[in-house]
Chains A and B, each alone.
Chain A
Amino acid sequence: MTQFTLNGQSVEIDNPSDELLLLVIRDKLGLKGTKYGCGAAMCGACTVHVDGRPEFSCQLSVGDVAGAEVTTIEGLSEDGTHPLQKAWVDQQVPQCGYCQSGQIMRAAALLAENPNPSRTEIAEYMSANLCRCGTYNRIFKAVEQAAQEV
């Protein structure tokens, strides 16, 4: 039995403690916003926050987060109105959208660390996450817009 906090709520799950956090979040807890893309820490589609830090949930077992606070895209805001989410809509960032939960979670961690990042700092930080549709420049603009609000 592993206990952790998911989006502010305590959860206890009986999956094997070495099972991937990503799969537990998606299939056991039913939160599908966190995506599987590579399973190798290379694409960032699975990005969540663990105790406020951005982590690849494909690289953590559920045992690794025992007692920790895990936040997914579903928990970033109650109603999808986090400044980053509003900026994502304003800038019409997504195309296929598959990577965007991870992008937003990565960007939220960036703004928590550095509320006023330069374009270069944004690009470097966001390089952990891939977008095959090529929406990067819109992501940069959306992060800059949200930084104005945060």
Chain B
Amino acid sequence: MTTSLTKSDFSRRGFLKGGAGLAFFLGAGGLSAVAVRAQNAEPLDVNPWLTISPSGTISIVFPSTEMGQSSYSTLPQILAEELDANWDDVVIAQLNEDDRTFGNPLFGGVLYTAGSTSVQGYYEPMRRAGAQARDVLLQIASRQLEVRKDSLRTEPSAVVAEDGTRLSYGALAASGTEDVQIPDADAIALKDPQDFRIIGQEVPRRDVPAKSTGKARYAIDVEIDNMAYAAVLRTPVEGETPRSVDDAEARAVAGVIDVVTLPDGVAVVAESLWAALGARDLVQVTWSDSSPARAFDSNATLAAYAEAARDPQAEAAVWAQTGDAASAIAKADRTVSHLYLSDYAYHAQIEPMAAVATVDPDGMGAEVWAGTQTQSWTTHTVMETLGTTQDRIRLNMMTMGGSFGRRTAFVQDYVRDAVLSSKAVGRPVKVIWTREDDVKHGTFRPAAAQKLEAGLTAHGRLTGWHHRVATPSVIGFFNPGRWEAVKPNDVISMRGAESKFYGIKDFQADHIITERQARLAPYRGIGAAYTSFAAEAFMDELAAEAGRDPLDFRLDLVEENPRGRHLLEKVAEMSGWRARGDRALGLSFAGYSSSMAAGVAEIEVDDDTGEIAVTQIWAAVDAGRIVSPDNAHNQIEGGIIFGISSALTERIDIEEGQVLQSNFFDYEILRADRVPQIDIYMATVEAPPTGVGEVGTPMASAAIANAFFAAKGQRLRHMPFTPDRVRDALQSELRLDL
């Protein structure tokens, strides 16, 4: 039940004789025109959100891309709800071009699937689009039946009159739009949520059967006639270029078609991936050796960031500020200050980078199959690579085998390499990265050093909070043009440091924008993946210093956030917090964007090995209205597991500009035998949806660190909490005992 929709397809359909059906054309401001596609219809150069065919099939555009988050199902459900469609009549049309008509309202109209924004951003416009279409159907029925519009009602995919006459949406779509008035998008009445039939219901995901039978197709699976395969030998250090290439041996391998020099690598193109990989090992490249990146060393980087975080004079951009933190801390009864560190982390999506391109014979156009988080920047990448115009690019946005921020860059090198390789050999080419390619040439969550300082009153209450984050600008690397527009505010680097779910009267968070010493990218949870670790671990330290229960200490700070207070109380109830005795429980309260999560972790520590076992997580989440509850549960649980994994094992090291890790044996992600039981409560609230894809992640690491303190009386201030670091912390416990 999937269709693909591009502008050219639709224009072509516009000429079809007798193919009458309703098309709703929505501009940025909503429904702007409506027409019957009939014998003499003009070709149409707008891209409709929905079409209803005379057979009753309702096609709804999916403007985002799918990487497992299921907005592929969820977004069309929103429109279908207000249209009052029978969900079984709906087919989903992947948007396959950079048509800003459908741009993400939360990314300035760029087609960008990131930041848990799809449901949040498209909820209102897609509801209004559905409601407008429903109103038009009512008008047509009113004319047909010669009754007043307000005497009619809708049932799924049908208009029903008072006398019981039913007109299906398909029949109405075929009956002409004469005298139809387009209702105003802003004024149109939306459904009372009590009447929802789709939103908030258990609607199964559309893609699950294909994903349970091996039938789902990802970019890595695309196969087209005459296609060749390419493996790319990439520069070992960022910023270097191939100076000379000795490819004689590689070219002698059976099946090798060509060896193509790329700006930062060498592609071996062959009849099979096996031949390409084998020949790649035989290519001898002399690389340039002048890149400053050769000096990148992750230990030195983190030490430098820590020094910057400790230095009160270090230049910083204010990220968030309320009142006067410095004065409040200066006047406090006691002050507390700690430093928190976190290493680079890798996305580890299970599908490695892959793309297929077939460049047109004139070299000025291409069809591309790729999984990316943005139609806009993929289009841009192909345009720049070929020096061509947008109309020459045909995209096929493939469902992704995970992404988590991996495929967000402004320039997508794997897409570029497929295009350049295809252009060179005059055939379609599929580029596949190996896992080692993906780790060694990954783009990472930045390393960070964070200094937190706060004051306590004589009564053990918080007064004044200063959070300094020493980390580079992520946006400055993965989208430099964007950085010019937004600097010095980098939401990717800093999200979470605003601690906005608490009402802290005198508050400041600063970004010490350090030098970038690795390739960087957005990563599930973005800044909150580490800023919330530091903030919530520190909050626990403050509570201990104040001699107060960590729950009570936090409850002081949510007086003006009743929804947040509810989550803290709920998770305390779920976990038996008040009666925890000597159980090793840790509390954390964080979130993502406007979604909030309170979590409690229970852990066990193996003193000999230093292994932490997380045995149970309880989470209470408020993400506004939940459009698709079962999927939301799955996303939140996945986000928590991502957070646990990142807290326990995930670490990228760099020496002499090269990544030391190479595969899942030295970059470990959480396996089934380390997965805790997870109990999730989702608050029912009358509020717009705010996203579920990342809300589970930020609170997890501090919950574990705080549980470790409950268990062992020591603090873990460097993420991940690898066995060596845990043993070090336990050693300091022994020293205290002495």
Point out the residues of chain B lying under 8 angstroms from A137, CB to CB. Answer: 637, 675, 677-678
**B307 interface residue per 8 A CB criterion:** no
B351 touches A37 (CB 8 A): yes
Interface string of B694-738 (1 = CB under 8 A from A): 000000000000000000000000000000000000000000000
Contact A31 B208 (CB under 8 A): no
Q: Which of A30, A33, A95, A126 has the most CB atoms of chain B within a 10 A radius of its CB?
A: A95
Query: Is the CB of A19 closer than 8 A to any CB of chain B?
Result: yes
B8-16, B172-180, B282-290, B400-408 - interface stretch: B400-408
Instruction: Decide: A92 and B631 in contact? CB cutoff 8 A.
Output: yes
> Are B672 and A34 neighbours in the complex by a CB distance under 8 Å?
no
User: Which residue of B is nearest A81, CB measured?
Assistant: B213
- Cβ of B215 and Cβ of A33 under 8 Å apart? yes
A149 at the A/B interface (Cβ < 8 Å)? no
Q: List residues of B (614-638) whose CB comes within 8 Å of A's CBs.
A: 630-631, 634-635, 637-638
Indicate which residue in A72, A95, A136 contacts B635 across the interface (CB closer than 8 Å): A95
Binds A, one of B64-72, B382-390, B481-489, B600-608: B64-72
Given A35-B350, A96-B400, A135-B634, CB of A130 within 8 Å of CB of B671: yes
Q: Is the CB of A43 within 8 A of B664?
A: yes
Interface members, chain A 29-84 (any B CB < 8 Å): 30-40, 42-43, 45, 72-74, 80
Pair A123/B673 contact, Cβ less than 8 Å:
yes
Contact pick for B272, options A27, A42, A96, A123, CB 8 Å: A27
**Bound-complex Cα distance A97 to B642 (A):** 16
CB <8 Å contact, B663 and A38:
yes
> Known: A88-B208, A130-B669, A134-B642. Contact between A80 and B273, CB under 8 A?
no
Interface string of B191-215 (1 = CB under 8 A from A): 0000000000000110111111111
Could you tell me which residues of chain B, from 114 to 143, have a CB within 8 Å of some CB in chain A? none
Asked if B474 lies at the interface with its beta carbon under 8 angstroms from chain A, I say no
B215 to A: closest C-beta gap in Å: 7
B663/A95 in contact, CB under 8 A: no
B272 contacts which chain A residues (CB < 8 A)? 15, 19, 23, 27-28
B659 lies within 8 A of chain A by Cβ: no
Kindly state the separation between the CA atoms of A80 and B213 in the bound complex, as whole angstroms. 6
Q: Does any Cβ of A come within 8 Å of B107's Cβ?
A: no
The answer to whether B212 and A85 touch across the interface, beta carbons within 8 angstroms, is yes
Known: A20-B274, A129-B672, A135-B638. A36 touches B352 (CB 8 A): yes
Please give the distance in Å from A46's CB to the nearest CB on chain B: 11
Instruction: Give the interface size bracket for B toward A.
Output: 35 or more
Closest chain A residue to B439 by CB distance?
A: A38
Q: Which residues of chain B from 270 to 308 have any CB-CB distance to chain A below 8 Å in the complex?
A: 272-274
Separation in Å of the A27 CB from the closest CB of chain B?
6
Q: Does B349 contact A (CB under 8 A)?
A: yes
- B434, A16: Cβ atoms closer than 8 Å: no
Interface residues of A in 94-136 (CB under 8 A from B): 94-101, 104, 122-124, 126-127, 129-136
Chain A's interface size range is: 35 or more
Q: In the complex the two chains form, what is the Cα distance from A130 to B350 in whole Å? A: 8
Closest to B68 in A: A96
Interface residue from A37, A38, A97, A139 paired with B68 (Cβ < 8 Å): A97
Q: Which residues of B contact A88 (CB under 8 A)?
A: 208, 212
**A1 at interface by CB-CB < 8 Å:** no
Would you call B639 an interface residue if the criterion is a C-beta within 8 Å of the partner chain's C-beta atoms?
yes
Contacting pair A96 B399 (CB below 8 A): yes
Q: Which residues of B contact A32 (CB under 8 A)?
A: 214, 217, 221, 223
Docked pose: A99 CA to B214 CA in angstroms: 10
Set of chain A residues within 8 Å of B403, measured between Cβ atoms: 96
**How long is the Cα–Cα vector from A89 to B7 in the complex, in angstroms?**
34
Given contacts A30-B223, A32-B221, A92-B204, contact A132 B404 (CB under 8 A): yes
| A-side contacts of B672, CB under 8 Å | 122-124, 126-127, 129, 131, 136, 139-140
Give CA–CA (A92, B402) in the complex, Å: 17
The verdict on B356 contacting chain A, using a C-beta distance below 8 Å, is no
Q: Judge whether A40 and B274 touch: CB under 8 Å.
A: no
- Name the residue of chain A whose CB is nearest to the CB of B221: A32
A41 to B210, CA, bound (A): 25
In the complex, the 8 A-B pairs of residues with the closest C-beta atoms, listed nearest first = A33-B214, A98-B401, A97-B211, A96-B68, A134-B641, A134-B638, A73-B214, A95-B68
B interface residues, Cβ below 8 angstroms from A = 67-70, 204-205, 207-218, 220-221, 223, 229, 272-274, 348-352, 399-404, 432, 434-436, 630-631, 634-635, 637-642, 645, 663-665, 669-673, 675, 677-678
22 CB-based A-B contacts, threshold 8 Å: A19-B274, A27-B273, A28-B272, A32-B217, A35-B401, A37-B350, A39-B663, A40-B435, A42-B664, A92-B631, A94-B211, A95-B634, A96-B349, A98-B401, A127-B673, A130-B350, A132-B404, A132-B642, A133-B402, A134-B640, A137-B637, A138-B634
Query: Which residues of A come within 8 Å of B, CB atoms?
Result: 15-16, 19-20, 23, 26-28, 30-40, 42-43, 45, 72-74, 80, 85, 88-89, 92-101, 104, 122-124, 126-127, 129-140
